[in-house]
């Protein structure tokens, strides 16, 4: 009986997954690298609503960004809708309660029409 329990225990242990500390470290390093990604992109400004800035990229895909600091250009008043901007933003991890793709770091007007 002891032999049977020993054999079953060895089989169970041999098939169980083993996680190592290096895998956990690698995952956290990847997340840190992902969160530190800074994107520079020329975007067309579409508007502002509820703490979110709405832009469109060159492929007409929506880009929703938020900002925690005062911007050098007042985008809230609506005077720049349809204008192109060079936008630098830090990529954020998408969550179920936030539609933001990142946090604006810098905005500069690229066309003067």
Q: Domains along the chain?
A: 36-109 (2.40.50.500)
**3-state secondary structure at position 13:** helix
The pLDDT-based confidence of 30 (bands split at 50, 70, 90) is very low
Q: 87: phi > 0 → left, psi -120 to 50 → alpha, else beta; which?
A: beta
| Res 26: pLDDT | 45
SS3 call for 30: helix
Do 52 and 64 meet the contact criterion of CB atoms below 8 Å apart?
yes
Give yes or no for residue 25 having a pLDDT over 50. Answer: no
């Amino acid at each position: 009986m002891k032999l049977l329990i020993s054999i079953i225990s060895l089989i169970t242990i041999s098939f169980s997954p083993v996680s190592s500390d290096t895998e956990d470290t690698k995952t956290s390093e990847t997340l840190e690298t992902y969160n530190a990604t800074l994107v520079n992109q020329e975007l067309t400004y579409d508007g502002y609503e509820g703490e979110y800035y709405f832009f469109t990229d060159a492929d007409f895909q929506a880009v929703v960004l938020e900002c925690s600091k005062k911007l050098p250009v007042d985008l809230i008043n609506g005077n720049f809708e349809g204008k192109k901007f060079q936008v630098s933003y830090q990529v954020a991890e998408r969550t179920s309660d936030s539609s933001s793709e990142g946090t604006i770091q810098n905005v500069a007007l690229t066309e003067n029409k």
